[in-house]
Amino acid sequence: MELPVVRINEVSKYEGQDVELRGWLYNKRSSGKLHFLQVRDGSGIIQAVMFKGDVSPELFEQADHLGQETSVKVRGTVRADKRSPLGFELGVKDLEVVHEAREYPITPKEHGVAYLMEHRHLWLRSNRQNVIIRVRHTIEKAIRDYFDQNGFTLVDAPVFTPSACEGTSTLFEVPYFDLGKAYLTQSGQLYMEAAAMAFGKVYCFGPTFRAEKSKTRRHLTEFWMVEPEVAYMTLDEDMDLAEDFICFIVQRVLEKHEKELVEVLERDVSKLKSVQKPFPRITYDEAIERLQKAGHDAKWGDDFGGDEETVLANQFDRPVIVHRYPAELKAFYFKKDSNNPKLALGMDVLAPEGYGEIIGGGQREESQETLESAIQAHNLPMEAFNWYMDLRKYGSVPHAGFGLGVERTVAWLCGLHHVRETIPFARMMERITP
C-alpha cells in the first residue's frame, strides 16, 4: 500500500495514520530496545522511535550504526507526544536507507566560524541556520507583502549601471563589451525616482554591491536592499511610511516565529514586542545634544558611526528616527530644509540593541536649478545625470523614499552578532566560497 508522503511540519494532520517521511538523520540515541532517531526534512525535526519488537533484527541493528546526515525514508505511525517541541513523534514500522553518510564534517561539537563558513553548504542543515534562513524568508515576504498591499508597483532596478554616481571607490567594476565598463549597483534609488514619476508608488528589491574594504560585523560586499519611492511624498510622510513598514515586518516575524526565536535562537522577544508606533523622532541637533550629555565627544557636523548609533539607540526601547542631518554629510540629491538650508531632509532609522542604521532615506530635491548646483558643488559629471535631470524638467514633483537593508534587519530580529549568518551564502572581502 502506498503511504502518504508527508513533510514534518504537516504531521499534525496525520495523527494516528501511517505516513512516509523523507529526510536525513539529524541525531540519534539508543536505550536497549529503543532507537530515538531525530529525522529532519528541512521543514522540521521529528523524533522517530524504533522499537526492537516492531522491525526486523537486521534493521534494528543497522539503525544503530547510521551516520549523521544519512538520507532515509521512514515509515510509521504519527503519534501525539506532548513532551516534544513538535507535539508529535513517529512510531517507526520501517526505515529505508537512501544513502549512507559517513564522517559528516559538522558534528554536534563546537566548530570555529571560519570552518563553518567554509562548509556553509552543509552548515545550512543545522537547526539554528535553518531557523535564521526561514526568518529571512519571512522578512523578505513581509517586505513584498507590505508594498504589494499598499499600492506600490515592483520596478526592478538594473544591476549594471553606466557610471559612478557618488565616486568609484566602493564600486565593483565590470568590463562590458565595447561599452568599456559597467558598475554593479549600490542603490536603485535614481531609477526608482524615474519609476515613481511613472507609477506613483514603486519599490525595487534585489541584491546591491559595495566594494568596501571593511571587515566589520555589519558589512557584506553583496547584500539585499528594498527601496520604496513615492511621488508627492514629503519627509514627514516618509518617516510615517518607514515606521509603519518596520512595525509590519516585526509583527509578522513574531506571528510566525516567536517560538523558534525563543527556543532555538534564544532571542529576548520582549525587546521586539515593544516595537510599536510611534517611534521617537529626534533631529540631528538633538542627537548631538544627547550624545554630548551621554559623555560622548560628538560635535555638530560629525557623521555617526556604529558607536554613536548605539549610544543613541540605547536611549529608547524601540527604533529611533534621526532626521535633518547637516547637508554636507548627505548625497547631492537630498532636498534642503527650507527653514535652514544647512540641513538636508534626510532621515535614518536606528534599530535598538546596538544594531544601528537599518533604514536611510529622505526627501529628494525636485528643482532642476538647485539640483544642478548640487551636482556641480559635489564635482560630479553632469552628463551622467542628463536622464536624471529629465525628471526635474518634465512634471517634477516632491518625492521621497528610503532603503532598508535586509541583512541588518535579519541580524536585529534574530539577535545575531554578525551579518554573515543572515544570508545563505555570505560574500565578504575575504570570502567568495562556497
Pick the closer one to a second copy by CB: 154 or 262. Answer: 154
Q: Does 113 bind a second copy (CB under 8 A)?
A: no
- Helical axes 127-149 vs 406-414, angle rounded to 10°: 120
Candidates 82, 83, 213, 417; binder of a second copy (CB under 8 A) is: 213
Distance CA 123, CA 116 (A): 6
Question: 283, 324 in Cβ contact below 8 A?
Answer: yes
338-367 residues in contact with a second copy (CB under 8 A) are 366
Out of 161, 186, 187, 409, the residue judged to bind a second copy by CB under 8 A: 161
Buried b (16+ CB within 10 A) or exposed e, 175-212: eeeeeeebbbbbbbbbbbbbbbbebbbbbbbeebbbee
Query: Per rule CB under 8 A, is residue 111 in the interface with a second copy?
Result: no
The yes or no reply on residue 333 touching a second copy (CB under 8 A) is no
By CB under 8 A, tell whether 23 contacts a second copy. Answer: yes
Question: Shortest Cβ distance from residue 317 to a second copy (Å)?
Answer: 31
Comparing CA positions, the residue from 12, 433, 408, 42 lying closest to residue 218 is 408
**431 DSSP 8-state letter:** B
Find the helix packing angle between 235-263 and 127-149, rounded to 10°.
Answer: 150
Q: How far is the CB of 291 from a second copy (least distance, A)?
A: 34
Q: How far is the CB of 427 from a second copy (least distance, A)?
A: 5
Interacting stretch for a second copy, rule CB under 8 A, among 289-297, 303-311, 339-347, 419-427? 419-427
Residue of 4, 9, 168, 307 interacting with a second copy (CB under 8 A)? 9
Q: Nearer Cβ to a second copy, position 18 or 100?
A: 100
Closer to a second copy by Cβ: residue 171 or 320: 171
Using the 8-state DSSP alphabet, how is residue 383 labeled?
G
69 touching a second copy, by CB under 8 A: yes
Give which of 206, 221, 210, 207 is closest to 167, Cα–Cα.
Answer: 210
Closest CA to 288 of 260, 308, 273, 274: 308
Q: Which is nearer to a second copy, 195 or 400 (CB)?
A: 195
Four-point Cα dihedral 6, 7, 13, 17, nearest 10:
40
Q: How far is CA 155 from CA 112, 119, 193, 198, 257, in A?
A: 41, 35, 11, 10, 30
Residue choice 49, 164, 194, 254 for contact with a second copy (CB under 8 A): 194
Of 179, 266, 295, 297, the residue at the interface with a second copy (CB under 8 A) is: 179
Of 144, 210, 256, 296, the one binding a second copy by CB under 8 A: 144
Q: Which is nearer to a second copy, 34 or 124 (CB)?
A: 124
Residue that the C-alpha cell 526561514 belongs to: 134
- Contacts with 134 (C-beta within 8 Å, 6 or more apart), sequence order: 257, 260
Q: Does 423 bind a second copy (CB under 8 A)?
A: yes
Cβ-based neighbours of 145, under 8 Å, separated by 6 or more: 252
Contacts of 7 (CB under 8 A, 6+ apart): 21, 41, 42, 43, 44
* Beta carbon nearer to a second copy, 229 or 309: 229
| 211 interacts with a second copy by CB under 8 A | yes
387 binds a second copy (CB under 8 A): yes
Rounded to the nearest whole angstrom, what is the least distance from the CB of residue 388 to a second copy in the complex?
8
Q: Is 176 in the site for a second copy (CB under 8 A)?
A: yes
Cβ 41 to a second copy shortest distance, Å? 5
Judged by CB under 8 A, does residue 3 bind a second copy?
no
Write down the least CB distance from residue 270 to a second copy, Å.
28
